[in-house]
Chain A
Amino acid sequence: MIKYRSQNLKPIAYLLLILSLLVVFFLCVCIGSVTIPIHNIVSIIVNLILNKPIPEGVAGMIILQVRIPRVLCVAFVGAALSICGAAMQGVLRNPLADGTTIGVSSGASLGAVLAIAFGFSIPGIENGGVVLMAMVFAFISLLFIIALAYKLDCTLSTNTIILIGIIFSMFVSSIISFIITFAGEKVKHIMFWTMGSLADSTYEKALTLFLLLMVFGTIILINAEELNAFAISEDNARNTGVDVKRVKLLMLISVAALIGVCVSIGGTIGFVGLVIPHMMRMITGPNHRKSLPVTLFMGAIFLMLADLLARVILKPLELPIGVVTSFVGSIVFVYIFYHARKR
């Protein structure tokens, strides 16, 4: 009898992940510039569900209008950025790949800024034009960066693609600054596009994020085997029967769509997609069947906590969320780079 060892996560792991997600969610809804006791939150939510009148006062307003939509958006953005990072690190076989390091986020920002500055919109869908332009530009940037990297160095080494990403980001940032300067009031401050913020989240934005995460997150999750193959090596993937071109295109589209929507709603929140997949690989090993679901949950948890920190550390002032993630991310980047070079 051959013993079969499951390649998937155990149910208990999923249970723990969901539990921690809920705990952190409530924690983030409670704490802020005004701390609201947990029993108040529970009574507000229970009343809401039972369709009873919500108790009068500021607390209800803050919770329902500000905190819950914001924490939801933060969680979805965290999950989306993390799983994108994991997918890119697999496809490119590059542990340093992430929306910010390879320049996709900047490309998406440019798309969003252009859409706002020139008033590009899709009738019927609020913000549709901005989101779509961010996605399209994210995809074009991805194609451009990868094609250029292949042209320069067909082995697609870690350093080449990161270097191109950095140069591309700087180039695009200068264009963004230029557009913002002459477009004036319409476009958000440059700080939003470089450091990110989810301060003006709404339920509509949360829903948009959720729907796209459901579609493209699922596509990435069901390609776990293919990502494993790419992570071993692209040649090996082809030789074992993976449709390399199709999978690569599918992954690039999914990554571009998710990064596009995240950037158009929350600006560039750096390094989330770098830190979380790397840490999760250290726990689960590189098998994507295990690491992808964990990455999804932990990405949400990490960004919720980072946002909490950004809100309370200088209370009542608020830090841009990217300050927190970039601070952690840069350190992890150096750590990974150091260990990759030592090998």
Chain B
Amino acid sequence: MLRVKNLSVTVDLYEILKNVNFSVQENEWLMIVGPNGAGKSTIINAISQGISYRGNIEFCDENIANLKRNEIGKRIGVLMQNHSVGYAFTVEEVVRQGRYSYISSIFSNYHEDNERKIEEALKMTGMSELRNHSVLTLSGGELQRTFLAQLLAQNPKLMILDEPTNHLDLVYQKQIFQLITAWVKKSGQAAISVVQDLSLAKAYGTHAVLMNHGEVIAFGTCDEVLTQDNLERVYKMDVNKWMHDMLSQWN
């Protein structure tokens, strides 16, 4: 579905990404993991055409750079890591923005499908009751759910999520991950996400890319990539033991 070929990004002579290669197929959930500064968010910025890059990014064998913006909008949805809204838009107005690619002209914004998608998205993220609140008054977690609702309303084929559980409490973390798991299983859909929490990556992901210093260390299924050897090489610590110690204190 999505194929990243020899992706390199240079900012001010500093190479942030070096020859990155990976791909995502239908019904897969690819986890991008690695330490801070590994270039994880830069991959997402490149796919969403937010920065200039060298190399090729193909969606269903078409070069993304040649697709029209609203065609990309219908196929790829992105949840950014940080959200800031300039003005006092309501939750519903921000979610409605997700339908932008489907509105053919300013005179035809009413479409039953639009309204249904917006309702569903608000319900799935638990934001229905806050729909008329100004986004400037929301907490970090509520804002995160608002933009997740926007992404769901956008109804893309490929979801790209930069730390989707940022700001979320445990209940919503679980709910959102289950929601995405179910979403990925539908035909023609897939997801890519950046996560810090390796146990979440292992529990929910089907595939993984392990990054370090802008390079791909390993790419494959989660079981192949998230091995003790690989993680120790990248994180320079015994990740397994650390996790085990952390969890064992509950017993």
Known pairs A241-B101, A243-B69; A232 contacts B77 (CB<8 A): no
**Chain B residues closer than 8 Å to A189, beta-carbon distance:** none
Residue of A nearest to B70 (CB): A241
Q: How many angstroms from the CA of A93 to the CA of B106 in the assembled complex? A: 21
Q: How many angstroms from the CA of A287 to the CA of B85 in the assembled complex? A: 13
Residue of A nearest to B75 (CB): A241
Query: Hey, what's the 0/1 contact readout for A309-343 against B, CB within 8 Å counting as 1?
Result: 00000000000000000000000000000000001
Q: How many angstroms from the CA of A232 to the CA of B95 in the assembled complex? A: 11
A-B contact pairs, 20 of them (CB 8 A): A2-B112, A4-B110, A95-B87, A225-B100, A229-B97, A232-B94, A233-B83, A233-B86, A235-B50, A238-B48, A240-B73, A240-B154, A241-B71, A241-B72, A241-B100, A242-B100, A243-B68, A243-B70, A246-B69, A287-B93
**Chain A residues closer than 8 Å to B50, beta-carbon distance:** 235, 238
Q: Are A286 and B87 in contact (CB under 8 A)?
A: yes
Q: How many angstroms from the CA of A232 to the CA of B86 in the assembled complex? A: 5
Partner of B88, one of A228, A240, A285: A285
Known pairs A239-B77, A241-B73; A232 contacts B97 (CB<8 A): yes
Q: Are B80 and A235 in contact (CB under 8 A)?
A: yes
Query: Hey, what's the 0/1 contact readout for A261-292 against B, CB within 8 Å counting as 1?
Result: 00000000000000000000100011101000
Q: How many angstroms from the CA of A262 to the CA of B93 in the assembled complex? A: 33
Q: Are A241 and B69 in contact (CB under 8 A)?
A: yes
Interface residues of B in 105-122 (CB under 8 A from A): 106, 109-110, 112, 115-116, 119
**A181 within 8 A of partner (CB):** no
Q: How many angstroms from the CA of A31 to the CA of B77 in the assembled complex? A: 57
Known pairs A232-B85, A233-B85, A286-B89; A239 contacts B48 (CB<8 A): yes
Given A225-B103, A240-B100, A241-B73, 6 further pairs, Cβ under 8 A: A4-B110, A222-B106, A232-B87, A238-B49, A241-B70, A286-B88
Residue of A nearest to B100 (CB): A240
Interface residues of A in 208-245 (CB under 8 A from B): 222, 224-225, 228-229, 231-233, 235-236, 238-244
Known pairs A4-B115, A243-B68; A93 contacts B100 (CB<8 A): no
Interface residues of A in 286-308 (CB under 8 A from B): 286-287, 289
**B136 within 8 A of partner (CB):** yes
**B4 within 8 A of partner (CB):** no
**Chain A residues closer than 8 Å to B89, beta-carbon distance:** 228, 231-232, 285-287
Q: Are B136 and A231 in contact (CB under 8 A)?
A: no
**A51 within 8 A of partner (CB):** no
By size class, the interface of chain A is: 20 to 34
Residue of B nearest to A289 (CB): B106
Query: Hey, what's the 0/1 contact readout for B51-83 against A, CB within 8 Å counting as 1?
Result: 000000000000000001111111001101001
Q: How many angstroms from the CA of A287 to the CA of B68 in the assembled complex? A: 25
Q: How many angstroms from the CA of A228 to the CA of B89 in the assembled complex? A: 9
Question: Could you tell me which B residues sit within 8 Å of A by CB distance?
Answer: 48-50, 68-74, 77-78, 80, 83-90, 93-94, 96-98, 100-101, 103, 106, 109-110, 112, 115-116, 119, 136, 147, 150, 154
Known pairs A4-B110, A225-B100; A231 contacts B87 (CB<8 A): yes
CB proximity of B35 to chain A, nearest CB, Å? 24
**Chain A residues closer than 8 Å to B84, beta-carbon distance:** 233
Q: How many angstroms from the CA of A289 to the CA of B85 in the assembled complex? A: 18
CB proximity of A222 to chain B, nearest CB, Å? 5
Q: Are B48 and A281 in contact (CB under 8 A)?
A: no
Q: How many angstroms from the CA of A236 to the CA of B154 in the assembled complex? A: 12
Q: How many angstroms from the CA of A93 to the CA of B71 in the assembled complex? A: 25
CB proximity of A165 to chain B, nearest CB, Å? 18
**Chain A residues closer than 8 Å to B154, beta-carbon distance:** 240-241
Most chain B CB atoms below 10 A, which of A233, A246, A289: A233
Q: Are B101 and A240 in contact (CB under 8 A)?
A: yes
A-B residue pairs, 6 tightest by C-beta: A241-B73, A241-B101, A286-B87, A93-B86, A243-B69, A239-B78
Q: How many angstroms from the CA of A94 to the CA of B87 in the assembled complex? A: 9
Known pairs A224-B106, A243-B69; A236 contacts B97 (CB<8 A): yes
Interface residues of A in 63-110 (CB under 8 A from B): 93-95
**Chain A residues closer than 8 Å to B109, beta-carbon distance:** 7, 225
Known pairs A236-B97, A286-B89; A242 contacts B112 (CB<8 A): no
Q: How many angstroms from the CA of A116 to the CA of B98 in the assembled complex? A: 49
Q: How many angstroms from the CA of A239 to the CA of B81 in the assembled complex? A: 13
Known pairs A240-B98, A242-B100; A2 contacts B106 (CB<8 A): no
